[in-house]
Structure 1
């Protein structure tokens, strides 16, 4: 699912300038949040990205922390504003603090082209340390939302990403590695497979995250050994073919 809003250069400029006037009074200086939102649909792993203005560059969904707001609450709010999803499992996985990340030349040039002369108190000119979260969602349930800064919200295949700004490509790769490491433990929290599912459906989810094919017998043995699945009794329908077992996550998970 993709959301595109056609925004005039004048509207884009006014929206950014309005933000610059109000941001110092609303948000904490020097700290931001970036969220890597992975989508799983049709056996594919995707990443949700936002087009930066009317440029060919994209960025991760992110934002700033209100002065009277907890960090985790800010991350959840930002994600909800971008997707309109409510019940989302978020995991903090990384803090990006490279001194050069906030001064990327391309981003500065793009901002200058969009709004002209940047005020001396420019919010974007300061150094930001970004606290990074990841989430795994069903992309069919996402309702992308655009705003003045971002004119398109789009899912991209994890292996076919567009040009991104700042260090967001590095953040995405770190998020993928963390997701791979966490998947066994956090699987039930993501709640992607419905109340019941087959072992094959579960294997396809793992293959999308690990980006490789898995041996069916080895995978089944591993998943059953984790103790997170409950196998249900088969529901026979009188047909000759053998129906697969259905599973659900054990209530103790």
Structure 2
């Protein structure tokens, strides 16, 4: 859909006053990363709208695929955010003025939006970020060094980071941040990063292997001299 049609007739295609925001989380160099889009002088989370005849889950999958090119992206519901003044009027108007486009206060995107927030764990090396129609740039940022963000988007990102720390203590999720094949030392380092604490390596490995959800591959991975850990992958 071209921008003009979306702006003038978007209410005919999408649910009114309801949006989806995504905290897309990656992992690189022992750091958790957050994918952000630049909108003018600040940054926002990737997001989109729900089509009139589309389930919320299908909308999340579609938007994630559009933003990352991943076919079966992981995602998990985070929370609902909806302050009474939650609208992007000034931000969108700045974009239009900067690009010499005609702005109208009657555009449906000028309304207040309640957002359904989700977080998604991705293999950063297999993710190919795509900026949207209104975005000036796309980039990964460390959660410890997030830039200035519009509205409540930094709050949403921080909430997702904290929720991930809680969730990994109740269920196995972190492997989604790694390639399909990984070693136990790699998973151990990642888990420590997510929890921000030291974990006994031997105890961690025994606990993970006792779940039976991973299968050991016959080939060894050469990491350092004298270190040849087995690779694992999620059982099909």
Task: Identify whether the pair has TM-score above 0.5, normalized to the shorter chain.
Answer: yes
Task: Report the equivalent of 2:180.
Answer: 194
Q: In the alignment, does 2:43 pair up with 1:58?
A: yes
Question: Structure 1 residues 100, 235: closer, same or farther in 2, change over 3 A?
Answer: closer
Say how many residue pairs are matched: 228
Whole-Å Cα distance in 2 between the matches of residues 114 and 245 of structure 1?
Answer: 51
Question: What is the RMSD computed on CA atoms of the aligned residues?
Answer: 2.8
Q: What are the equivalent positions in structure 2 for 1:69-80 lying under 5 Å apart?
A: 69-80=54-65
8 Å contact from structure 2 (residues 27, 177) kept in 1? no
* Aligned-residue offset at 1:245: 4.3
Residues 188 and 249 of structure 1 are in contact (CA less than 8 Å); yes or no, is this contact kept in structure 2? no
The separation in 2 between residues aligned to 1:235 and 1:114, in whole angstroms, is 52
Task: State how far apart, in whole Å, the 2-side matches of 1:132 and 1:74 are.
Answer: 12
TM-score (norm 2): 0.83
Task: Kindly indicate whether structure 1 or structure 2 has the higher relative contact order, using CA contacts under 8 Å at least 6 residues apart.
Answer: 1
Partners of 1:235 and 1:123 in 2: CA distance: 56
Deviating more after overlay: 130-139 vs 207-216: 207-216
Check whether the contact 1:17–1:115 (CA below 8 A) recurs between aligned residues. Answer: no
- In the TM superposition, what whole-angstrom CA distance separates every residue of 1:141-160 from its partner, at most 9, and x where no partner exists? 12222233001111111111
Q: Distance in 1 between matches of 2:155 and 2:115?
A: 13
The runs of 5 or more residues in structure 1 that have no matched partner are 1-14
For structure 2, the residue ranges without an aligned partner over 5 or more in a row are none
Higher-Rg structure is 1
- TM-score, normalising length from structure 1? 0.78
2-structure distance, mates of 1:80, 1:245: 32
Corresponding residue number in structure 2 for 1:161 = 146
